[in-house]
Amino acid sequence: MTSSTPAAPRGRERRKRDSRVGDKIFMNLSRGSGILLLVVMAAIAGFLTWRSAVALTKNEGNFLTTFEWTPDAPEPVFGIAVLAFGTIVSALIAMLIAVPVAIGIALFISHYAPRRIAQPFAYLVDLLAAVPSIIYGLWGALFLVPHLSGLNSWLDEFLGWTYIFDQSRAGTTPRNLFTVGILLAIMILPIITAVSREVFRQVPRMHEEAALALGATRWEMIRTSVLPFGRPGIISASMLGLGRALGETIAVAVVLSSSNVLSLHLLDPGGGTFAQNIALKFNEAQPFGRDALMASGLVLFVITLLVNGAARLIVARRKEYSGANA
Amino acid sequence: MSAATTSVPSDARPVGRPLTANRLPKWAPAGVAAGSIALGCGIGLVGGLESKLQWGLISAALFLIISYALAAQVEGRRQAKDRFATSVVWVAFILAVIPLLSLTVYTIQQGADVVDGDFLTHSMMGVRSAGPGGGIYHALIGTLEQVGLATLMAAPIGLLTAVYLVEYGRGTLAKAVTFFVDVMTGVPSIVAGLFILSLWNIALGFNYSGFSGSLALAILMMPVVVRSTEEMLKLVPNELREASYALGVPKWKTILRVVLPTAIGGITTGVMLAVARITGETAPVMMLVFGAAYINNNPFDGPQQSLPMYIWQQYAVVNNDFGYARAWGAALVLIAFVMGLNLIARGIARWRSPKAGH
């Protein structure tokens, strides 16, 4: 550098200084945005903890094991047992249905479908990922619920012995956790599909061709080259889906007929989820009731934090996966 | 020794077996599918199952079993497994298409009767909720303003953060930011709403307003923008950056003039998709914007309405056939808006960025 042509060294010096200033400004700006994001996260935790602490000190019941939710009564009693159960169960049902199906659809688009179908269909799935949850809710309540009553009584009849699928009163409208789980599965399907499809597409062609050249059938090729490559992608896609299922508010609030009953009979109406409970109780809540809802919101926040963090660590362990540049 | 090498192993290929193994004819999967659908419907009719859903499930199960058994008989186990996987994938595809298509078609069916000029240009002011009439003008205004404000806040921050992560980020801070951006994408919308409520409304004492809703929406939008932009920036080939550095261009200029323009199609797409996502958020808006039946053009003062919240109120609060009809109308408008955004975004992506890689 120093040994280069001596012509116009001053101009170069100035340009260098300018670039340094520009670099500094730009770098600090972008770093500042990153820090701002961290601050927002910390603030979410901080403020929710603050309001929750206010609520929890006055709670007369046990926050973790109480079923009731009457924070605005003279003797405030509220607990999250029912909500935690409902949230986890409905999200679990959703994941059990959605993840295999989504992987199937993603494979269909990336490896199985005739090209002429694959492209438009991929498009359609992407579009459906954007359908707002309130519309899923509306559709769930006015279309899906009536259509699921047949399936519900079927499950009750044939799988009733499992206890889980036993309906206490046969023929009740299926506004239950099971329906919520199915609706959530439909809702998170496009997201999981879209992300896993992108990952499957990035599988190096060489891997696939090598497998095929060794005489593998298409399924063996997928098992040995596509799925291992795509596993971190599938996990992070499922994580996205699980996060949505856990925190889904309005669709659950529309479909579920909630109550403060904790029951393993998944086909019985009742139960509730964190988010649904907040949405439903918020409008009538007094200031103290709002604080109680914030306490439950904090729990939801912590759960999603743990889920996402854990999934993140699983993905990070496989360092060779570096997204698009792989 | 030489005899051993020259002699052909006798068990290499039994005489009489053709080079290519037995295969099912090409029409076999279609045939099995048709057969199992017919059988499924038959069982459904005979068994008196009134829900078409059960017919479909039975047919799907039959299809899987028959195609596996058939292939196992004719082609051998490996091929049968392959066929089975193919069948599973096709069944998954069909299982998914039905509800997703039904959702779209049903919304359009229900909404098309309701949406007209009046519906789009009138508010709910003075409209009896137990009667027909009324519209979504106030909700449209509210949604556009709230989402616009949220985008103005979230898009620059998200973009800069992505630039930081891809171009500058090394060390603990970058790792922490990456980690928490991922975690933040999972923050439920209602939690974002609660946070803004406790910060903006309880701690700082502001009232319900469109702006307080857009604060929550911005929180939801930021990580989405970061993630998509980050992916796009990673797609920009390193050679481009190196070529620019080699010409003596400073880093910030390289980013602004080379990296970002290369990725601009993808970035725009990502931002628009994020916009589409927050447009449909109901929960935070419900808590923070409060809802109003009248037109409020000022997002910084007083309750507003928004489309998703309008749907919720018409369904849950009004809760009669007129309410349902209005809800479907608003749902159709909302879906059209979101899908339109999506289509435009994808159009931009295709138009701006020629396929990178491969």
Closest CA to A36 of B234, B305, B223: B223
Residues of chain B in contact with residue A20, where contact means CB-CB under 8 angstroms, are: 250
CA distance A156 to A170: 8
Amino acid A247: pLDDT = 86
Q: What is the pLDDT of residues B220-234, one digit of tens each?
A: 999 989 988 988 888
Q: In Å, how far is B283's CA from the nearest CA of chain A?
A: 6
- Say whether B96 and A101 touch across the interface (CB within 8 A): yes
Given a cut of 90, whether residue B115 has pLDDT beyond it is: no
- Between CA A246 and CA B224 the distance in angstroms is 18
Q: Is the pLDDT of residue B330 over 90?
A: yes
A218–B308 C-beta distance less than 8 A? no
Enter the ipTM: 0.83
Question: What is the spatial distance between Cα A4 and Cα B284, in angstroms, rounded to a whole number?
Answer: 61
Report how many helices (DSSP H) and strands (DSSP E) chain B contains, helices first.
15, 0
Q: DSSP per residue over A279-306, as a string?
A: HHHTTT--HHHHHHHHHHHHHHHHHHHH
End-to-end CA, chain A: 34
Euclidean distance between CA atoms B122 and B137, whole angstroms: 5
| Continuous segment of H or E residues that includes residue A77 | strand A77-78
Q: How far apart are CA A234 and CA A195, in angstroms?
A: 7
* Percent of chain B scoring above 70 in pLDDT: 91
| Whole-number pLDDT of residue B10 | 47
Which chain B residues are closer than 8 Å to A48 by Cβ? 191, 194-195, 198
CB-CB neighbors (< 8 A) of B339 in chain A: 127, 130
Give CA–CA dist A140/B356, Å, rounded: 40
CB contact (8 A) between residue A27 and residue B252? yes
Which three-class secondary structure string do you get for B32-62? Answer: HHHHHHHHHHHHHHHHCCCCHHHHHHHHHHH
Quick check: B273 and A130 CB within 8 A? yes
pLDDT tens for chain A, 326 residues: list them.
Answer: 444 444 555 666 666 666 678 888 888 999 999 999 999 999 999 999 998 988 888 888 888 888 888 888 888 888 888 889 999 999 999 999 999 999 999 999 888 888 888 888 888 887 787 888 899 999 999 888 888 887 888 788 888 777 778 777 777 788 888 999 999 999 999 888 988 888 888 888 888 999 999 988 889 999 999 998 888 888 878 887 888 888 888 899 988 888 887 877 888 888 888 988 898 888 888 888 888 899 999 999 998 888 888 777 776 665 444 443 33
Task: Give residue B16's pLDDT.
Answer: 54
Q: What is the pTM of this model?
A: 0.85
Instruction: Please give the single-letter amino acid code of residue B25.
Output: P
pLDDT of residue B77: 83
- For B183, the closest chain A residue by CA position comes to A308
Which tokens sit at B301? Answer: 């003062």
Q: Please work out, in degrees rounded to the nearest 5, the angle formed at the alpha carbon of residue B103 by the alpha carbons of B51 and A116.
A: 105
Q: What is the pLDDT of residue A33?
A: 92
Whether residue B51 is predicted with pLDDT greater than 80 in this model: the reply is no
Mean pLDDT over B304-314 rounds to: 90
Residues A134, B279: C-beta atoms closer than 8 Å: no
Cβ atoms of B281 and B189 within 8 Å: the answer is yes
pLDDT value of residue B214: 93
- How deeply is B7 buried, as exposed, middle or buried, from its count of CB atoms within 10 A (0-12, 13-18, 19+)? exposed
* A105/B96 touch (CB, cutoff 8 Å), yes or no: yes
Please answer yes or no on whether B164 and A34 come within 8 Å at the CB atom.
yes
CA distance B99 to B77: 34
pLDDT of A4 reads 47
Integer Cα distance of A186 and B130 in angstroms: 32
For residue B170, give the 3-state DSSP assignment: coil
pLDDT for B353 = 58
State how far the alpha carbon of B222 is from the alpha carbons of A195, B157, B213, B232, in Å: 19, 7, 15, 15
At B152, which helix (H) or strand (E)?
Answer: helix B137-163
Task: Label residue B269 left, alpha or beta by phi (over 0 means left) and psi (-120 to 50 means alpha).
Answer: alpha
Rounded to 5°, the CA angle B142-B147-B151 comes to: 155
Residues of A in contact with B334 (CB under 8 A): 132, 134-135
Contact call for residues B187 and B219 (beta carbons, < 8 A): yes
SS (H, E, C) B68-81: HHHHHHHCCHHHHH
Report the alpha-carbon distance of residue A216 to residue A107 in Å, rounded: 17
- Average of per-residue pLDDT across B82-107: 87
Contacts of B186 in chain A (CB under 8 A): 239-240, 242-244, 246-247, 304-305, 307-308
